[in-house]
């Protein structure tokens, strides 16, 4: 079978026949054998009977959630290609020619772009149109380097076999974010087509929750992008901590008449170095787990071990100077600011070295898996 038009639904008795008839109108134009698959997500109205009466194949998924319904639909679809869309009448299922053209060009995933195709008056809430969707799409482009103008359009087409390999598991509205991020990570061929968004034909609130579903999609974008969740914040924190530590290690740094940086800035800088380095290492672990990437272990480990050895040498010198200062001064006359400028950075470097060595061992363990 060539194509499955997949429509998840929950209590859509007012719009389901409209959507199915639109889809049937399009399928009549295709010479290839195709189907309309409705995945019912626990409707208590007449959705199922209406769908069957209109000639659609119906599968029931009792585990609630937009993602749950779509995952069941993808699993049960008979078509080589799938076009999925909402059951609220907001998309024109009779006008899917652009998706078929992209399938024929060899694309694995085709995303609709409502901003290019046009949004009818009242079809999209103000916050979604001017804040939520543009922001999430911008972050998606920034994090994943993919040229898509509308990350979360509900009308998408994809090659079934390619998406099954992604091993998707998101159960809710965040399904779209997982689909796109994993498609990019797995180097699927992705493009977009212009689609028009029409006003919801239902007389009730949509299933989408602006803030909670928006937050879930945002966290998914970060979750699969360790560079922005761990690595970049770690680099910034480590470099800032190093800068502040070097600035105050020899004594008080006067910024202005009423502002100066002293020993507590040094302590804070050392803490930032440790936290920053750990965040960066977490980013490396995330990248390895996400991409099954070996990070060129031999060269990478050699560089880390070199840094660790240098850090240990410097820390031993610093601790020796601290001990010498303590022994050559009477306890009552020890200046703890001076002692702290030797001791705290030295201990920080020593902890940093141990952290590197432990993680080199773990990296090598991951390599042998």
pLDDT of residue 341: 81
Give the three-state DSSP class for 367. Answer: helix
Give the three-state DSSP class for 264. Answer: helix
pLDDT of residue 50: 96
E strands, 210-336, are 253-256, 259-261
Which helix (H) or strand (E) covers residue 39, if one does? strand 34-40
pLDDT of residue 357: 78
Query: Rounded to 5 degrees, what are φ and ψ at 322?
Result: -65, -45
pLDDT of residue 191: 97
Residue 31: CB atoms within 10 A of its CB come to: 6
pLDDT of residue 134: 93
* Domain ranges, ordered by start, for the chain: 3-223, 226-367
pLDDT of residue 180: 94
Name the superfamily (CATH) of residues 3-223. Answer: Spore Coat Polysaccharide Biosynthesis Protein SpsA; Chain A (3.90.550.10)
Give whole-number Cα distances, 195 to 8, 25, 95, 173, 183, in Å.
19, 17, 9, 20, 21
pLDDT of residue 229: 82
> What whole-number distance in Å separates Cα of residue 103 and Cα of residue 12?
29
SS3 annotation, 150-219: CCCCCCEEEEHHHHHCCCCCCCCCCHHHHHHHHHHHCCCCEEEEECCECCCCCCCCCCCCHHHHHHHHHH
Instruction: Give the pLDDT of the chain (369 residues) as one tens digit per residue.
Output: 799 999 999 999 999 999 999 999 999 988 788 999 999 999 999 999 999 999 999 999 999 999 999 999 999 999 999 999 999 999 999 999 999 999 999 999 999 999 999 999 988 988 899 998 999 999 999 999 999 999 999 999 999 999 999 999 889 989 999 999 999 989 999 999 999 999 988 876 776 777 888 888 888 888 788 888 888 999 999 999 999 988 988 888 888 878 888 888 988 999 999 899 888 888 877 777 666 544 444 455 556 667 777 777 877 877 887 777 777 776 655 677 777 887 888 888 888 888 877 777 776 666 555
Residue 229, both tokens: 């969740």
Indicate the DSSP class of residue 292: -
């Amino acid at each position: 079978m060539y194509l499955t038009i997949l429509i998840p639904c929950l209590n859509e008795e007012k719009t389901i026949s409209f959507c199915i008839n639109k889809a049937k109108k399009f399928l009549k134009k295709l010479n290839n054998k195709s189907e309309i698959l409705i995945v019912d997500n626990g409707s208590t109205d007449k959705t199922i009977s209406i769908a069957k009466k209109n000639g659609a194949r119906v599968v029931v998924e009792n585990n609630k959630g937009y993602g749950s319904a779509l995952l069941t639909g993808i699993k049960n679809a008979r078509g080589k290609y799938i076009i999925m869309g909402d059951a609220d009448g907001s998309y024109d299922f009779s006008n899917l020619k652009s998706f078929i053209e992209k399938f024929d060009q060899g694309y694995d995933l085709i995303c609709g772009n409502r901003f290019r195709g046009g949004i009818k008056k009242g079809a999209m809430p103000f916050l979604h149109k001017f804040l939520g969707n543009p922001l999430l799409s911008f972050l998606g482009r920034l994090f994943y380097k993919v040229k898509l103008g509308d990350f979360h359009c509900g009308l998408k087409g994809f090659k079934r076999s390619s998406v099954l390999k992604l091993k998707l598991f998101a159960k809710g509205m965040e399904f779209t974010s997982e689909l796109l991020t994993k498609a990019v990570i797995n180097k699927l061929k992705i493009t977009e087509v212009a689609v028009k968004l029409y006003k919801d034909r239902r007389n009730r609130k949509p299933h989408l929750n602006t803030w909670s579903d928006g937050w879930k999609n945002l966290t998914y974008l970060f979750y699969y992008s360790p560079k922005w969740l761990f690595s970049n914040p770690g680099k910034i924190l480590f470099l800032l901590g190093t800068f502040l530590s070097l600035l105050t290690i020899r004594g008080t740094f006067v910024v202005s008449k009423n502002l100066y940086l002293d020993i507590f800035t040094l302590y804070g800088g050392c803490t930032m170095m440790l936290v920053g380095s750990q965040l960066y290492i977490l980013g490396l672990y995330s990248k390895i787990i996400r991409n099954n990437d070996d990070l060129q272990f031999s060269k990478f480990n050699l560089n880390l071990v070199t840094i660790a050895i240098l850090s240990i040498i410097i820390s031993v010198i610093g601790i020796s100077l601290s001990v010498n200062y303590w022994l050559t001064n009477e306890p009552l006359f020890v200046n703890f600011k001076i002692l702290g400028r030797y001791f705290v950075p030295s201990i920080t470097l020593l902890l940093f070295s141990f952290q590197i060595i432990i993680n080199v061992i773990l990296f090598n363990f991951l390599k042998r898996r």
